Amino acid sequence: MTRTQAIAQAQQQFDSGAFRQTLARRVAIPTESQNPQRGAVLADYLESEMRPAFEAMGFVCQTLTHPKARAPFLFAQRLEDPALPTVFGYGHGDVIRGLEAEWASGLSPWTLTEADGRWYGRGIADNKGQHSVNLQALANVLGTRGRLGFNAKYLIEMGEETGSPGLRELCEANKTLFDADLLIASDGPRLRAERPTVFLGSRGSMNFDLRIDARAGGHHSGNWGGLISNPGIQLAHAIASIVSATGQIRIPEWVPTELPDSVRRALADCEVDGGADGPAIDPGWGEPGLSPAERVFGWCSFEVLAYKTGNPETPVNAIPPRAWARCQLRFVAGPNPDDFVPALRRHLDRQGFPMVEISAPPEDMFRATRIDPDDAWVRWAVASIAQTSGQKPALLPNLGGSLPNDIFTDVLGLRTVWVPHSYPGCSQHAPNEHLPPALLREGLCIMTGLYWDLGAGQTPKEKMT
């Protein structure tokens, strides 16, 4: 039996409708981790879908829990030979809220529906479709070769959309159980729908609030205008001191000192394009002197996610007593996240804004990670995907978004190779989440080839140091 036969089996399995049927069943389970009423549903997804899928492939499953997590974790492993390489897989079965009322006519978050050449349903892109591809690819290798040819460990969590509570502690407590050579997993989007992509980490994310509480209530703008401070104006100027009018961060501690050469080389081959449904790139926005790919995958960005002062719904002629902004810093490996808030405090004080209060970010924020694009395991994975797809995949040092990847690199000491099966215009986290089925089909072939090559005895020997 050969690699070609395994990939042919993947194509046949998809074209027969069997994969669609499996995915439709999983999409129908409303695993909204942000909804406190879905606790039993989260556990049911693991027991009714994940456990049977793994056990059918000869995996031994166990349910793991942690007090910080609202739902259990499922850990599955198939150990064929201690001398073989071990791959760690990860996926999450929880989804963002369904937002049923906001979906287009004829569509539902809990029904996989085909329309306009796309498959619609909550979780199809994030992350049910992606880990379903990977599980089926494992089954394809087993069905063709009769064995994997490597050891496989897999962890499914049900709280990623709420910040993965308990995941770090679970991994710290089970380092020996989770020991592996590398992580191969799928989440996030490709660079473009038509180009296979590999990314090696993720940008970190820190959300925090800025607030000015000037006084107890509002005061008539005719009687007091020009006499008392306006928190809305003050906070706008404070934010303007953090970032330029073109989006350049002005706090040195928030950005890297340089862009590594290996990162520049990898990103030189990457063109950012959101497709027909994506926004147009603003060429003058962000850090000057960087390409669009370098700005989103190699640098840091600051965003104001929400801003409120006064009564936006019913404005009145009064100077507002307070102003508030929800802000976010996306950051790459290099800057020290423990100094982000102290650096901001120092900056605001220097700029004359001691009245601005800063909320502390959550302790379990995602931290930035990136492994070397020149790593031998990375070159191996890229070559495998190129052989299957017939094209050179995009190699991103890290995802522009954030994942709990630092848990795998820093706690478990794993190399991390992510192979996404989505695209930027998939409406992830929004109504009408969807994917083109051709992308899922290609992903299934790519992962079947990748797992086949992992068991073919020609993998790198290096472990993470």
Distance CA 68, CA 405 (A): 18
Cβ atoms < 10 Å from Cβ of 53: 22
Say yes or no to pLDDT of 361 above 80.
no
Cβ atoms < 10 Å from Cβ of 335: 21
Say yes or no to pLDDT of 464 above 70.
no
Distance CA 285, CA 278 (A): 16
Tens digits of per-residue pLDDT, 69-123? 999 999 999 999 999 999 999 999 999 999 999 999 999 999 999 999 999 999 9
Say yes or no to pLDDT of 251 above 90.
yes
DSSP string, 273-321: ---TTSPPP-TTSSSTT--HHHHHHSS-EEEEEEEEES-SSS--SEE-S
Say yes or no to pLDDT of 465 above 50.
no
pLDDT at 230: 98
pLDDT band at 163 (very low <50, low <70, confident <90, very high): confident
Say yes or no to pLDDT of 303 above 70.
yes
Percent of the chain with pLDDT over 90: 92
Say yes or no to pLDDT of 216 above 70.
yes
Strands (E) in 174-282, as ranges, are 182-185, 197-199, 201-202, 204-213, 219-220
**pLDDT average, residue stretch 35-44:** 96
**Residue 358 three-state SS:** strand
**pLDDT average, residue stretch 179-200:** 96
Contacts of 3-7 with CB under 8 Å at 24 or more apart are: 3/449, 3/452, 3/453, 3/456, 5/144, 6/140, 6/141, 6/143, 6/144, 6/145, 6/448, 6/449, 6/452, 7/140, 7/388, 7/445, 7/448, 7/449, 7/452
**pLDDT average, residue stretch 247-260:** 96
pLDDT at 462: 62
Distance CA 271, CA 424 (A): 13
**pLDDT average, residue stretch 36-54:** 97
Q: Of 236, 244, 294, 241, nearest to 267 (Cα)?
A: 294
Least confident range from 13-22, 287-296, 366-375: namely 366-375
Is 171 or 277 the better-scoring residue by pLDDT? 171
- Residue 367 phi/psi, 5-degree rounding, is -100, 160
pLDDT at 335: 96
Residue whose pair of structure tokens reads 């880990």 in the numeric block = 131
pLDDT at 364: 66
pLDDT band at 401 (very low <50, low <70, confident <90, very high): confident
**pLDDT average, residue stretch 183-196:** 95
**pLDDT average, residue stretch 355-384:** 90
Q: Is the dihedral of CA 405, 410, 412, 415 positive or negative?
A: positive
pTM, to two decimals:
0.89
Average pLDDT value for the chain: 95
Domains along the chain with CATH numbers:
3-202+368-454 (3.40.630.10), 204-256+300-358 (3.30.70.360)
Element of type H or E holding 40: helix 39-45
Q: Of 50, 80, 53, 52, nearest to 148 (Cα)?
A: 80
Say yes or no to pLDDT of 463 above 60.
no
Start-to-end CA distance of the chain, whole Å, equals 36
**How is residue 239 written in tokens?**
């934010």
Distance CA 38, CA 251 (A): 41
Which residues are 92's β-sheet partners? Answer: 157
pLDDT band at 366 (very low <50, low <70, confident <90, very high): confident
Say yes or no to pLDDT of 421 above 60.
yes
Residue 222 CB-half CA count within 13 A? 2
CA gyration radius for the chain? 24
